[in-house]
Chain A
């Protein structure tokens, strides 16, 4: 016969009651086992989980209205990055001074419709050296062109510094015009042909008189203020072909002849 070191449990009338001693709570406990009947009519004991909570299965229960299915949940999961940004990182981004829609619209308005592609820019880049443009492919346009200071390589005189002169003010590029002009006491334009040669580069005048002096100059020329040309003297004047500049001549005395060449 078993002996218990604890007094038997009694009710308020000192009658003994059913009970089982529980060491966990150190008391006589009246314990009950609850059963529920399944839909198949089978009685099944209710059970607790490891935490002492009543187990309940919702396996056969319908999802509440609006609840996401497994398929939907899986689709959402697939869209979530493997390592999404932490809240701290998002707070850091949130603290940045982002451009407003208005500002972005203003920037968009300044971008041309068809900006150069990366390939085009890369092509341009290949045309540039590390220190800037190195190649001039197109010829300079006709007419005066200011090139600025030009250096000539003197490393090998006659070779590295060779310059090929295509044409100059001294070069004859068209048939010259020659003639004899009568120089009188009336200041008149001096030229070789019927009128001043177009694109005249050079004018050569020789006073062919043996005794009289003549003068040359602008249209304000007089017998006193022009540049004097002694008998037999020759004067050579160069011109910019693109700029017509009239030269007048006058005799200091009677009419005389002057030989004229225009190039």
Chain B
């Protein structure tokens, strides 16, 4: 995932995400109130929301080898 954070100089900051490096054609962009620090604090939540709302586009995690002990 690549991130671009841009200060809009109006009290807001833009966060742009791109998942192309993970083989997923998905982009996201949002604005938060505050500066770059606030944007970095919000970034994990934005990323989590993207992965949750577009879960169908991300590959499923590989299952661990071996059987499951009951």
Contact = CB atoms under 8 A, between A and B. Distances in A.
Nearest to B15: A188
A194 B28 contact: yes
A194 B27 contact: yes
Nearest to B38: A186
B49 A182 contact: yes
Nearest to A221: B33
Contact of B45 (A179, A194, A250, A255): A255
Interface in B17-47: 17, 26-34, 38, 41-42, 45-46
A234 interface: no
B66 interface: no
Given A186-B38, A194-B54, A220 B27 contact: no
Contact of B31 (A184, A193, A219): A219
B52 A188 contact: no
Contact of B49 (A180, A220, A246): A180
Contact of A220 (B11, B17, B31): B11
Interface in A198-247: 219-221, 246
Contact of B53 (A186, A193, A246, A248): A193
B34 A186 contact: yes
A15 B34 CA distance: 161
B27 A188 contact: no
A182 B53 contact: no
Nearest to B37: A186
Given A186-B33, A220-B11, A220-B33, A192 B53 contact: yes
Interface of B is mostly: mixed
A94 to B, nearest CB: 79
Contacts of A184: 41-42, 45
Contacts of A187: 32-34
Nearest to A191: B30
Contacts of A188: 30-33, 42, 45-46
Contacts of A219: 10-12, 31, 33
A195 B16 CA distance: 9
Interface in A97-114: none
Interface string A167-183: 00000000000011110
Given A194-B26, A195-B28, A220-B11, A182 B45 contact: yes
Contacts of B26: 194
A221 B31 CA distance: 12
A179 B49 CA distance: 8
Interface of A: 179-182, 184, 186-189, 191-195, 219-221, 246, 248, 250, 255
Q: Which 8 A-B pairs have the closest CB atoms?
A: A194-B28, A187-B33, A179-B53, A182-B45, A188-B32, A195-B29, A186-B42, A189-B30
Interface of B: 10-12, 17, 26-34, 38, 41-42, 45-46, 48-50, 52-54
30 contacts: A179-B52, A179-B53, A180-B49, A180-B52, A182-B45, A182-B46, A182-B48, A184-B45, A186-B33, A186-B42, A188-B31, A188-B33, A188-B42, A188-B45, A188-B46, A189-B30, A189-B31, A189-B32, A192-B53, A193-B54, A194-B28, A194-B50, A194-B53, A195-B29, A195-B30, A219-B11, A219-B12, A219-B31, A220-B11, A221-B33
